[in-house]
Amino acid sequence: MGQKTFYYLAGLPRTGSTVLGEILNQNDNLHVSPASPLSEIVGEVLNKWRANTVTLKAYKHPEQLPNVWRGIRDGMYLHRKESYIIDKSWAWHTNDAIESTREILGEEMKIICTVDNIADCLASFIMLIRSNPDSDSFIDEYLRGQRRELSDENRCAAMMDPNIPTSVGWCYENLKKTWAGNNRKNLLLIERSDLVGHPQAILDKIYDFLGCPEIASWGDNKSHYFDRIEKEITEDDGGAYGIPNLHRLSPKLRDRQWRAKEVLGNRLFFKYKRMEFWRPKKRGF
C-alpha cells in the first residue's frame, strides 16, 4: 500500500454531500467516505495532548504528535486500495481543524463544502421526520430531553442551535467563521442546485481545486455518470440518528420534488430565508 493523499468533505447537512461523494466514488483513484469518525478521534487525541497530563509531561516527546495523527488517519483507510481519500465530517471546515492541521502536520487542507438554502436544509429534515412517524429522531429525542413540544418550529430551532455539535446551526456558524477569515482559501463551496443542474462542470471544478492531475485522469474513456448512482456503503441511519433512510439516494441525480415554503409554511420559511452568507448581496437587501 502506497502513501495516501487526504482531502476532506464538509459543509451543511442535507445539501447533497452524500450524492456528490458517491459520484466521485465512480473514480477508480478516489475513495469518498460516508460520515466518518476520524475528525472526532483526532479531536480527542488533540484535546488530550493539549491538556498536558502528567504522563505527557513525563514522556517529553511532543514531536510524536504528528506521527500519532498520521498513524490514526492512515490506519482508518488501510483497507482501501485508492491513493486519494476524501474523508467526510461536518467538523472539517472549522478554523480549529484547518489551523491544527497546518500547525501540526504542515498541511493545507482542501475541503469541499456542500451548501444550500438554510430553509431547504431544515425542510429536508422535517420531511424525513414526517415520513418516519414510528421512529424517534435525534431531533425529537433532544426536544423531549428539554421538555419542549414536538413542533416543526421547535425542531427547526433545535436544528439551528449552534451549541449542538453537527447541527445545521453548528455547521452553519463554523462555516461562516471560516469563510470570513484567512482560511477561506481552504474551502470550495458547492451549491446543491449547481451540482444538480451542472454536475460535470462541478466535478471539473472540484478536480481543479484538489489540484492533482492523477485524480482527474482516472482511466481511458472513463467518465462520471449521473443516472445510475450506486451507494457503496449503507449507514445504519435508523440506529444512529433515529431517521431511517437519512442517506438513501435516488439512482438518478435530480432536483427535490418539494419546496421548502410548502413544507415549513410561510412564517418559518421567511424566518430562515436569506441566511446564505456566501452568496453576493443583492441591491436593496
Residue by residue, DSSP assigns the chain as -PPPEEEEEEE-TTSSHHHHHHHHTTSTTEEEEEE-SHHHHHHHHHHHHHTT-HHHHHH--GGGHHHHHHHHHHHHTTT---SEEEEE-TTTTSHHHHHHIIIII-----EEEEE--HHHHHHHHHHHHHH-TTS--HHHHHHHHTT----HHHHHHHHT-TTSTTSHHHHHHHHHHHHTSGGGGGEEEEEHHHHHH-HHHHHHHHHHHHT-HHHH--STT----SSS---SS---HHHHHS-TTTT---SS----SS-HHHHH-HHHHHHTTT--TTSPPPTT-
Assigned domain for 222 exists: yes
d(CA 204, CA 228) in angstroms, rounded, equals 20
Q: What is the pLDDT of residue 2?
A: 66
Percent of the residues in the chain that have a pLDDT greater than 90, as a whole number: 73
Q: 168 with 123: CB under 8 angstroms?
A: no
Q: Give mean pLDDT, residues 123-128.
A: 94
Structural domain boundaries enclosing 178: 5-118+168-254
Q: 260 with 120: CB under 8 angstroms?
A: yes
Q: Give this prediction's pTM.
A: 0.92
pLDDT digits (tens, 9 = 90+) for 192-246: 999 999 999 999 999 999 998 878 776 666 789 999 898 877 666 556 676 766 6
Which grid cell is 39? 475528525
Average pLDDT of every residue of the chain = 91
Confidence of residue 82 (pLDDT cuts 50, 70, 90): very high
Assigned domain for 131 exists: no
Residue 14 has pLDDT above 60, yes or no: yes
Q: What is the pLDDT of residue 285?
A: 40
Assigned domain for 113 exists: yes
Assigned domain for 60 exists: yes
For residue 240, the domain's CATH number is 3.40.50.300
Q: What is the pLDDT of residue 207?
A: 94
Residue 284 has pLDDT above 50, yes or no: no
d(CA 204, CA 254) in angstroms, rounded, equals 19
Assigned domain for 265 exists: no
Q: Give mean pLDDT, residues 33-42.
A: 95
Q: What angle do CA 72, 74, 80 make, to 5 degrees?
A: 130
Assigned domain for 269 exists: no
Q: What is the pLDDT of residue 282?
A: 59
Assigned domain for 221 exists: yes
Confidence of residue 102 (pLDDT cuts 50, 70, 90): very high
Assigned domain for 284 exists: no
Residue 182 has pLDDT above 90, yes or no: yes
Q: What is the pLDDT of residue 172?
A: 98
Q: What is the pLDDT of residue 104?
A: 96
Q: Lowest mean pLDDT of 5-19, 217-231, 254-268, name the range.
A: 217-231
Q: What is the pLDDT of residue 270?
A: 97
Which grid cell is 248? 438513501
Which grid cell is 119? 430553509
d(CA 203, CA 23) in angstroms, rounded, equals 9
- Looking at the 3D structure of the chain, how many domains does it have? 1
d(CA 111, CA 114) in angstroms, rounded, equals 10
d(CA 158, CA 145) in angstroms, rounded, equals 12
Residues 6+ apart with CB under 8 A from 18: 34, 247, 249
Q: What is the pLDDT of residue 281?
A: 72
